[in-house]
Structure 1
Amino acid sequence: MKALLKLIQLEMRKNKTKLLRGALIADLILLAFMVLVVFTEEGEFSTYADVFDGLYVFTKAIFIIFASVLLSKLVIDEYKNNTITVLFMYPVSRKKLMAAKLLIVFGFTFISIFLSDIILSLLLGGIDYYFSDVIQGELSVRMMLDELPGVAADAVYSAGIALIPLFFGMRKKSVPATLVSAVLLVSVLSSGVGQFRLGNQFGVAISLSLIGVFIAYLGIKDIEVKDVA
């Protein structure tokens, strides 16, 4: 366990600045987009329930795609450029190396979605309170506390789903395949009619999340004997 945590720390040390900068840029874009649609499109987001629903969908979409970029950088690119062979020469098991990379993707996706949902909800509530008063009702501490369990669960499911593009990327060591599969996945999850969203259905979310975790498990399980070429 200590070796695995050390590997995660080393990977994070190499990529921490880029990850934080990328997450910040994604959140700023998402905030600007939500401000545009909430405060200029009358009737589309009239209640906090509507705002939360829309925000959670967009946050999930943007960070699942972000996770595919991270998968491409940490895993697919290293296989494609054959730099993974250098890592596999270190006196550390391949399984731990790959597990560290995939845990970073999972953990980053979970934390990014969870914090973004909470922080952006508060910012949108503050903007409405001080500048526009477009959203019906009042954003309260009780309301945010009631949202936390659902936000946390959604972040966990999304982090698992974000691992699914690994399957498509590893088939031919293709970065475009990884990114395109993430975009298609997000399109399917965001599809729906009215308030119905496929990705919001518990059965769909948990099933896809478990598939993502299983794909990650398969990526780790046979790596000691798998050809890296």
Structure 2
Amino acid sequence: MKTELVETYEIMEVCLLAGKLMLQSGGETYRVEDTMTRIAASFGVEQSHSYVTPTGIVFSIEAVEPTKTKLIRIVERTTDLTKVAQVNSISRRISSGELTVSEAHKLLKDMERVSVSYALWIQVAAASISSACFLIMFQGGWNDFIPALFTGGLGYTFFVYLHRIVQIKFFAEFLSATMIGLLSLLFVWLGIGNEIDKIIIGSVMPLVPGLLITNAVRDLMAGHLVSGLSKGAEAFLTAFAIGSGIAVVLSLF
């Protein structure tokens, strides 16, 4: 009985770790809950229940008496779809019987320790190119392509480093948007850029919470009202921070 109890607790740890990694990396609420339930069922635990919000996971199993329930907090959230895909891959391997509980737990622990995100220079380069391309997409002129390229890249770099110092994401986004507004204004004042509105719009796009908005709508459609409204509120705060930073610059100058 004691051996069975220990094994059941190990299964719970695997499920919680998989859910934590997915939620921290930008996975949808329904996907996290489904993955945890499937992993538990693959290891022989048919009666499991999960409740996931953007800031926490509650998981319960009824395979043993008394019922075991555990809560973990989610503090940091980012966008790392590669890690979400890797957790999905491990989940499929568990479902097909390729991994034991210990092997799955080790793989997930190794994944938790290793950062699979792109190097900072690649992220900055992607932000720069996407900013310039968004400017063209929003019918901006080719004369503003280079200003948007530099403004978007510098703004995103400023956001990354500032967020490491200021843990409150709202202020990092607000100050980054303010810097983008100042840089756009500077390019136009120097005569390098022409349309300040197009430069600003293209440059702030890397900061726009597109994944949050998508996940919020998806969770609401799936009936996860708490998670959907929470992610929607977070996306609104990000949009408000970006808009406020730009508004401050335009109102002052």
Q: Report the TM-score, using the length of structure 2 for normalisation.
A: 0.28
Structure whose residues are more often helix by fraction: 1
Pair member with larger Rg: 2
Structure whose residues are more often strand by fraction: 2
